[in-house]
Structure 1
């Protein structure tokens, strides 16, 4: 029996307190394992980056809250989040996997990192984008997202709408010519992106991992990640 694809999962931390602990839901690991992969948590150790990129078949960038570079934001705006040593390690990992054309999945904060790395622009406060903007930072709240035809995400989930959770403060508001928006909320907030030049580089704004133990159609995203990782060997 062939070995299961190995997925590197960068750890999150408790930046909302003091940043002294790795702190994340187990469901990221559950989601990857149920999709047929072997998930491994990766700490913020820059010396490990090259070895991780060499040894693993795919990369998942998880949710979190930390400051992004000022140039990633729309003119006149800057991050309102705390600084973290996670940023430099995460950028090195994501660049490494993308350069090897190994699959990358970004969830919430991870989608924003994927976007910023490819020249997109962010808003630090989604609610400040206008009075029409829905509440996007509310745990246990669900809203629909419309999935664009002719996108990788549509091929993966096989439907034009998903009901997803929503708790994020920042949002991608301007796309570069290297990135495609593959899903939107009803208020036009970008809910998923992909990088067509890569074999598998997908970001979703919602926390799909929280549906890992449910029969949710979006869980096929993890299946697609693991399958793409299996093809990286």
Structure 2
């Protein structure tokens, strides 16, 4: 049997998409297709979990959902509520969804209580850092950008290698990429500021921004700032991250039988 991996999706209000599809008043659950494709290529069954407002405080409901899966992927998306890291709305802050933030944090906390393997990507990576008490830079791409690297590189294809990575030794990513020279795409305008307590930095960009984190004391908890799911179909090196995640999930599942 293929391992089942939960991917959280998020609610898009009707004013964002309803008019486009002539479905005014209808809301949507959304997650980009690349996550499912990458996990499928790595040998897993993707299971998409919608945001369910009526169950947002129902821990038993969420737990039963988590009982059905073997691992969790937290995907990219909108900015995170700065109140979660003791900050406040500032210039260049993008759209936020506090409801989504708290929903995904609840899922994450419960998944960790259940020792589920976890992979956080872009926004998911940032959410992991916040859960561990870290903080974010609200914007790194505005007029006062700290770097010349275009971290929000919307002008190039999704699989385009925007910058190289420095992979730190003795980390999960060092084992995943096994000496490969790694270059990644870049679609974020926020970045990790303070690294959360207990997290280890596993990769950095040439300008020093954190691109990878992990918890060495948790069975499998890895976060990456770039979007490997957008690159996996064209770059076997990036697919290796999903293969590593799925292989760990498979092994953990066998040991727990």
Answer yes or no: same fold by TM over 0.5.
Answer: yes
Distance between the aligned counterparts of 2:47 and 2:152, measured in 1? 28
Contact 1:13–1:24 under 8 Å retained in 2: no
Distance 1:66 1:86, change over 3 A: same
Distance between the aligned counterparts of 2:14 and 2:176, measured in 1? 34
Q: What residue is the counterpart of 1:148 in the other structure?
A: 168
Q: Give yes or no for the alignment of 1:40 onto 2:60.
A: no
Distance 1:130 1:138, change over 3 A: closer
Distance 1:109 1:17, change over 3 A: farther
* Structure 2 counterparts to residues 177-192 of structure 1, below 5 A: 177-192=197-212
Q: Give yes or no for the alignment of 1:211 onto 2:240.
A: no
If the length of structure 2 is used for normalisation, what is the TM-score? 0.81
Q: What residue is the counterpart of 1:197 in the other structure?
A: 217
* 1:84 CA drift (Å): 4.6
In the TM superposition, what whole-angstrom CA distance separates every residue of 1:187-217 from its partner, at most 9, and x where no partner exists?
A: 0011111111111000010110011212330
Unaligned residue ranges in structure 2 (runs of 5+): 18-26
Contact 1:126–1:133 under 8 Å retained in 2: no
Q: CA RMSD in A?
A: 2.2
Higher normalized strand content (fraction of residues): 1
Q: What residue is the counterpart of 1:111 in the other structure?
A: 125
Q: Give yes or no for the alignment of 1:135 onto 2:150.
A: yes
Moved more, 125-134 or 216-225: 125-134
In the TM superposition, what whole-angstrom CA distance separates every residue of 1:76-134 from its partner, at most 9, and x where no partner exists?
A: 66554322532222111111111122100001000001110011111110236754342
Q: Give yes or no for the alignment of 1:101 onto 2:136.
A: no
Q: What residue is the counterpart of 1:52 in the other structure?
A: 65
Q: Give yes or no for the alignment of 1:91 onto 2:98.
A: no
Moved more, 192-201 or 86-95: 86-95
Distance 1:64 1:148, change over 3 A: same
Contact 2:3–2:249 under 8 Å retained in 1: yes
* 1:69 CA drift (Å): 4.4
Number of residues paired by the alignment? 230
Unaligned residue ranges in structure 1 (runs of 5+): none
Q: Give yes or no for the alignment of 1:224 onto 2:244.
A: yes
* 1:15 CA drift (Å): 7.1
Secondary structure of the residue aligned to 2:165 is strand
Q: What residue is the counterpart of 1:4 in the other structure?
A: 2
In the TM superposition, what whole-angstrom CA distance separates every residue of 1:6-38 from its partner, at most 9, and x where no partner exists?
A: 100001444796383223321100111110111
Distance 1:17 1:154, change over 3 A: farther
Secondary structure of the residue aligned to 2:28 is coil
Distance between the aligned counterparts of 1:37 and 1:49, measured in 2? 21
Moved more, 142-151 or 78-87: 78-87
Q: Give yes or no for the alignment of 1:61 onto 2:74.
A: yes
If the length of structure 1 is used for normalisation, what is the TM-score? 0.89
Contact 1:15–1:65 under 8 Å retained in 2: no
Distance 1:215 1:76, change over 3 A: closer
Greater relative contact order structure (CA < 8 Å, 6+ sep)? 1
Distance between the aligned counterparts of 1:106 and 1:17, measured in 2? 28
Contact 1:183–1:192 under 8 Å retained in 2: yes
* 1:68 CA drift (Å): 2.4
Distance between the aligned counterparts of 1:124 and 1:160, measured in 2? 31
